[in-house]
Structure 1
């Protein structure tokens, strides 16, 4: 499978995160993340053909993986608790833009062209329109909240993690399972420290399994494979599809018809992706 198709598959899985999050809104976020990541780490078993040696990576590589998976979710949850969710989510979606503009700083031999910059800005504008137009914003929301700072930091972490994995010593795709395993344990420790205990039903466990196999598991393996095979600048622009698809999934769940802002956002994001992936 090509790098862009792998990236799109990961993006499609991430688009289901909001819908699953709505269905599991009663579960504390760190508990949900920890269990999802632990389930997701199990995907590495068949990938490695149950060879644990493929899970082993140097300590610096493991630190990069935990920095990305745990650091991103930890700061995002803090942001969502201390800032209005819609604009905080918008700030967090600066990470695709970060991948595009920071690629030359992290990856040798990669340069930034005006075409990629324009495509990134167009994609971000489309993502902003998808979020703000796909959900009713709160007119009473404050103009500023300190939670925007961790939202911005989470965006930087995911963008830099995605690029740093290309700078460390090459590691098997199955090693992403060790990133998810350690990050899941840390998230559960945060749950024990910060959140009340919660009883889970059989339905909750089933949805958590889907969460782990999809947006908190399978997507990370696909994302890693895509970055190893493709152009980080193109993949960064394609990532702007995530908030658009997520908004469409939520609207479908609520049986609402997308309005013109979502349609315009789709045209802007698709246009940005075509522009960024054009070979000339």
Structure 2
């Protein structure tokens, strides 16, 4: 597989993650750990079916347990934090804070062997960060102190996913089928913690169950597999910066469905985010 194709496959995850906030809101009032359990059970089942069809189970037996522990912590940690953040703070603002992870990926990727940051990457990351910050500060009445715990959890999301994504690059020889094991293990861990820590509140009605099913099939399912291919075999710096499209797309989806209010700030942020992705793409093409 060429680097360009792997990068394009990885970007499919960005499109799917643009729906993450919408479906999370639709799944309310299901608590975060129970929602984790439902979504990862679906995403893991998809992966196991794919692994069975490709004969990948033999490859899974050769994978070190430390890899499974790393992947499970990454997937479980990010989504437990994300779902909690959107239960404690407004969806648009918390989601956008969580989407600071592309900036962190671009910066952290410079520490990887064979990679280095160019001025174009840094300029693109800065533009994208400013665009995301503009949306966050311009939405509604600004930061709500009562929602601060949610915002802090969202920031922890960004740190968790960027660390997981960059760390995955160092595991490039590990087959993508391992993601199925990460999902199943995350579902089991989430289920156990849910029984100890949360009340059981199942998704409400067709909207709730439909949102939970959509999460498991897309943003918390297929997205992991295509992202894994992208960060291991594609241009991780370009993927990281191009991922600034995710907060924009996510916000547009929330506005389109009436979850968030439109603002002139969105237009200015659009220019910064897309401009940042263009700068990073040009820098990568010069590599």
Query: For residues 166-191 of structure 1, what are the alpha-carbon distances to aligned partners after superposition, in whole Å with 9 as ceiling and x for unaligned?
Result: 21361221211111111121122222
Q: Report whether the alignment pairs 1:253 with 2:276.
A: no
Match of 1:129 among 108, 125, 134: 134
Tell me the CA shift for residue 144 of structure 1: 9.0
Tell me the CA shift for residue 92 of structure 1: 2.5
Matched residues in 2 for 1:19 and 1:75: separation? 16
Query: How does 1:1-280 map onto structure 2 within 5 Å?
Result: 2-50=5-53, 51=55, 52-56=57-61, 57-80=63-86, 87-105=93-111, 107-133=112-138, 135-137=139-141, 141-142=144-145, 145=148, 148-168=151-171, 170-200=173-203, 203=206, 204-254=208-258, 258-278=262-282, 279-280=285-286
**Between Structure 1 and Structure 2, how many residues are aligned?**
277
Moved more, 44-53 or 7-16: 44-53
Greater share of residues in helix: 2
Cα distance change, pair 23–111 in 1 and its aligned pair in 2 (3 A)? same
Secondary structure of the equivalent of 2:219?
coil
Matched residues in 1 for 2:258 and 2:147: separation? 29
Cα distance change, pair 144–95 in 1 and its aligned pair in 2 (3 A)? same
Matched residues in 2 for 1:79 and 1:255: separation? 16
Conserved? CA contact 1:67–1:157, under 8 Å = no
Cα distance change, pair 263–222 in 1 and its aligned pair in 2 (3 A)? same
Matched residues in 1 for 2:240 and 2:188: separation? 29
Matched residues in 2 for 1:189 and 1:75: separation? 16
Matched residues in 2 for 1:55 and 1:131: separation? 42
Conserved? CA contact 2:12–2:226, under 8 Å = yes
Cα distance change, pair 263–228 in 1 and its aligned pair in 2 (3 A)? same
RMSD across aligned positions (CA) = 2.6
Query: For residues 13-37 of structure 1, what are the alpha-carbon distances to aligned partners after superposition, in whole Å with 9 as ceiling and x for unaligned?
Result: 1111111112111211211121101
Conserved? CA contact 1:38–1:184, under 8 Å = yes
Secondary structure of the equivalent of 1:110?
coil
Moved more, 74-83 or 33-42: 74-83
Query: For residues 207-234 of structure 1, what are the alpha-carbon distances to aligned partners after superposition, in whole Å with 9 as ceiling and x for unaligned?
Result: 3222111000111111001112212111
Moved more, 243-252 or 78-87: 78-87
Matched residues in 2 for 1:3 and 1:216: separation? 20
Cα distance change, pair 85–19 in 1 and its aligned pair in 2 (3 A)? closer
Matched residues in 2 for 1:245 and 1:21: separation? 15
Matched residues in 2 for 1:153 and 1:75: separation? 7
| Unaligned residue ranges in structure 2 (runs of 5+) | none
Matched residues in 2 for 1:208 and 1:80: separation? 14
